[in-house]
């Protein structure tokens, strides 16, 4: 099936072998078989082609999580398009940049946002898709004519996912068919996913974690997913006795640990709990083992690479480490242009079939991070012990990770500094018991500007998860002799802010 299409022929292989086998289970709805999944994807592909999609055209998508949205991903790739998912939290002003930069030929959005979004992509065909599957996309899919699989090879683009930059504008990471397929095959094998698995899928599907790590791996392995609209601890605990695996960000684990229904009995059928996207505290690892009898398997990845390292499936899962380089992924730790000695800190660089093709229309940015010989400079600071286990100890990039979402302080600072009466600002991440890190702004402004003014203004231009949870007004920012703002001093000053929340 779909032999001409490098990624889809593999993702659909299990559907061809066992079309009636369940792919998705959803509360209150009939199960969706693998045949049904790809049937819908084909009809969407036909609708996209009728809307004028050409090979390599971007399909920009900002919709609530639904199975139809998964079919839209598959249908886009089947039709030869490039899937471009966008966080549902993005505001219209954030979307204006993404749509302007990516110049999609098709945009799919929530019906409620259609009037605001359509003018941002002049010339694009706009469909809408609601969380219940209603809207013009599925109407067009229902009546679309015949469909031919697009011919797409390993090196062709399958997706672009935007990641923010430490300076300047967000960058679209270009991922090829081979990038996605090679990583999904590695993860299926390394984590022992088979058609006996039932994966709890509560992650959003606009990022690599929920879209590629969870969905592609399950598709490839022939596994079923319990498909949830979002994270709800009660729903997860209801599903757990029927499930064998779960993937989540650390916030999933800390929140579930607060629920007394989490017991070895609830987790009796589970074989694997995987965590990633942000650091999992060693303490959470220990508490989880005490509560369930399972040792969480922590792994490390990036939008630009999918997954790079993982703790072993069968060997020792070491709390506080992200494990070893995955098969096929080369990893080195560099400082001052050379590899460091074991135990010394440096920046992680990775190379392999998973490493992206570069940033969309940004050759200079690509050249800054992707070396000509294929090594990607990740910006993550780490040490590797004598056994090869990697521990991430910090970031060379100024980045906050809140509940698994990346927040670039520079972007928030620029939005604050643009406000009338603000002189300057520094945005920092502070330890947060629920989100890992919480965003905090420290602002110097004239006396007329209040915290509420700033919060009110940011609500219009920044996604909720980027908005500071606290804003401090100060007379001046601490600086070193070179005049550089000392963020460490600010982090120390406000360190316990979220301790009791």
- Residues in contact with ligand MCA by the rule CB under 6 A: 203-204, 207-210, 230-231, 249, 251, 276-277, 301-303, 402-405, 435, 464-465
SS3 388: coil
Q: Which of the choices ligand MCA, ligand AMP, none does residue 362 contact, using the CB cut-off of 5 to 8 A by kind? A: none
Give whichever of 127 and 435 is closer to ligand MCA, judged by the CB atom: 435
Under the phi-then-psi rule, with left for phi > 0, alpha for psi from -120 to 50, and beta for the rest, what region is 80?
left
CA terminus-to-terminus distance, the chain: 52
φ, ψ dihedrals at 258, nearest 5°: -80, -5
Q: How far is the CB of 8 from ligand MCA (least distance, A)?
A: 21
Q: How far is the CB of 248 from ligand MCA (least distance, A)?
A: 8
Residue least distant from ligand AMP (Cβ): 303
Asked whether position 437 contacts ligand AMP by CB under 6 A, the answer is: no
> Does the CA dihedral 220-221-224-228 come out positive or negative?
negative
Q: What does the buried/exposed string (b/e) look like for 252-280 if buried means 16 or more CB atoms within 10 Å of the residue's CB?
A: bbbbbeeeeebeeebbeebebbbbbbbbb
Q: Give the torsion through C-alpha atoms of 62, 58, 404, 238, to 10 deg.
A: 60
Q: Of residues 165, 301, 358, 436, which one binds ligand AMP by CB under 6 A?
A: 301
Q: Which of the choices ligand MCA, ligand AMP, none does residue 464 contact, using the CB cut-off of 5 to 8 A by kind? A: ligand MCA
Please report which residue ranges of 400-486 form alpha helices under DSSP H.
409-417, 451-461
Q: How far is the CB of 299 from ligand AMP (least distance, A)?
A: 6
Q: Which of the choices ligand AMP, ligand MCA, none does residue 392 contact, using the CB cut-off of 5 to 8 A by kind? A: ligand AMP
The footprint of ligand AMP on this chain (CB under 6 A) covers a number of residues equal to 17
Q: What does the buried/exposed string (b/e) look like for 121-140 if buried means 16 or more CB atoms within 10 Å of the residue's CB?
A: beebbbbbbbbeeebbbbeb
Asked whether position 87 contacts ligand AMP by CB under 6 A, the answer is: no
Stretch that binds ligand AMP, among 6-14, 179-187, 259-267, 273-281 (CB under 6 A): 273-281
Give whichever of 203 and 226 is closer to ligand MCA, judged by the CB atom: 203
Asked whether position 284 contacts ligand AMP by CB under 6 A, the answer is: no
Q: Of residues 78, 256, 278, 329, which one binds ligand AMP by CB under 6 A?
A: 278
Asked whether position 378 contacts ligand AMP by CB under 6 A, the answer is: yes
Q: Which of the choices ligand AMP, ligand MCA, none does residue 380 contact, using the CB cut-off of 5 to 8 A by kind? A: ligand AMP
φ, ψ dihedrals at 123, nearest 5°: 95, -20
Closest listed residue to residue 46, CA positions, set 147, 134, 160: 147
Q: Which of the choices ligand MCA, ligand AMP, none does residue 395 contact, using the CB cut-off of 5 to 8 A by kind? A: ligand AMP
Task: Tell how many helices (H) and how many strands (E) occur in the chain.
Answer: 17, 26
Asked whether position 303 contacts ligand AMP by CB under 6 A, the answer is: yes
Asked whether position 349 contacts ligand AMP by CB under 6 A, the answer is: no
Give whichever of 216 and 251 is closer to ligand MCA, judged by the CB atom: 251
Give whichever of 37 and 390 is closer to ligand AMP, judged by the CB atom: 390
Sheet containing 376-384: give its strands across. Answer: 338-339, 330-335, 346-351, 376-384, 390-395
Asked whether position 395 contacts ligand AMP by CB under 6 A, the answer is: yes
Q: Which run of H or E residues covers position 379?
A: strand 376-384
Give whichever of 103 and 163 is closer to ligand AMP, judged by the CB atom: 163
Distance (Å) of CA 213 to CA 103, 255, 445: 27, 22, 44
Contact between 188 and 245 (Cβ < 8 Å): no
Q: How far is the CB of 338 from ligand MCA (least distance, A)?
A: 27
Q: Which of the choices ligand MCA, ligand AMP, none does residue 159 contact, using the CB cut-off of 5 to 8 A by kind? A: none
Q: Of residues 302, 370, 412, 439, which one binds ligand AMP by CB under 6 A?
A: 302
Angle between helices 451-461 and 409-417 (to 10 degrees): 120
Contacts of 444 (CB under 8 A, 6+ apart): 422, 423, 424, 425, 473, 474, 475, 476, 477
Q: How far is the CB of 3 from ligand AMP (least distance, A)?
A: 31
Asked whether position 300 contacts ligand AMP by CB under 6 A, the answer is: yes
**Which residues in this chain contact ligand AMP in the complex, by CB under 6 A?**
163, 276-279, 298, 300-303, 322, 378, 380, 392, 395, 401, 406
């Amino acid at each position: 099936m779909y032999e001409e299409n490098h990624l889809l022929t593999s993702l659909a292989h299990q559907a061809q072998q066992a079309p009636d086998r369940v792919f998705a289970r959803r509360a209150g709805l009939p199960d969706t078989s693998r045949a049904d999944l790809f049937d819908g994807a084909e009809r969407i592909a036909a609708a996209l082609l009728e809307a004028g999609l050409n090979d390599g055209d971007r399909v920009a998508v900002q919709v609530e999580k639904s199975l139809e949205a998964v079919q839209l991903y598959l249908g886009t790739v089947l039709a030869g398009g490039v899937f471009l998912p966008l966080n549902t939290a993005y505001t219209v002003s954030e979307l204006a940049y993404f749509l302007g930069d990516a110049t999609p030929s098709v945009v799919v959005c929530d019906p409620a946002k259609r009037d605001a979004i359509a003018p941002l992509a002049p010339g694009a065909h706009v469909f809408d898709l609601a969380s219940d599957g209603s809207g013009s996309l599925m109407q067009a899919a229902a009546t679309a004519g015949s469909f031919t699989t697009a011919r797409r090879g390993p090196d062709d683009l399958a997706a672009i996912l935007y990641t923010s930059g430490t300076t300047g504008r967000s960058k679209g990471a270009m991922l090829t068919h081979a990038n996605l397929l090679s990583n999904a095959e590695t993860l299926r094998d390394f984590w022992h996913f088979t058609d006996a698995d039932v994966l709890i899928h509560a992650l959003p599907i606009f990022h690599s974690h929920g879209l590629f790590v969870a969905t592609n791996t399950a598709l490839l392995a022939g596994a079923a997913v319990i498909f949830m609209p979002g994270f709800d601890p009660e729903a997860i605990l209801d599903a757990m006795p029927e499930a064998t695996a779960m993937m989540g960000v650390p916030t999933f684990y800390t929140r579930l640990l607060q629920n007394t229904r989490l017991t070895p009995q609830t987790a009796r059928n589970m074989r694997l709990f995987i965590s990633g996207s942000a650091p999992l505290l060693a303490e959470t690892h220990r508490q989880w083992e005490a509560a369930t009898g399972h040792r969480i398997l922590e792994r490390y990845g990036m939008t630009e690479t999918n997954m790079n390292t993982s703790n072993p499936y069968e060997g020792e899962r070491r709390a506080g480490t992200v494990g070893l380089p995955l098969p096929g992924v080369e990893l080195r730790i560099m400082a001052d242009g050379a590899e460091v000695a074991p135990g010394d800190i440096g920046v992680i660089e990775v190379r392999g079939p998973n490493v992206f093709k570069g940033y969309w229309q940004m050759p200079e940015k690509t050249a800054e991070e992707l070396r000509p010989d294929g090594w990607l400079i990740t910006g993550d600071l780490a040490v590797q012990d004598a056994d090869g286990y990697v521990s991430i100890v910090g970031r060379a990039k100024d980045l906050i990770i809140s509940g698994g979402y990346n927040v670039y302080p520079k972007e928030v600072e620029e939005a604050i500094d643009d406000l009338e009466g603000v002189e300057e600002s520094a945005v920092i991440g502070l330890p947060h018991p629920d989100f890992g890190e919480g965003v905090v702004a420290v602002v110097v402004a004239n006396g007329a500007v209040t915290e509420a003014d700033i919060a009110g203004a940011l609500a219009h231009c920044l996604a909720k998860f980027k908005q500071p949870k606290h804003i401090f007004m100060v007379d001046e920012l601490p600086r070193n002799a070179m005049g550089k703002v000392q963020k460490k001093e600010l982090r120390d000053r406000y360190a316990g802010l979220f301790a009791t929340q």
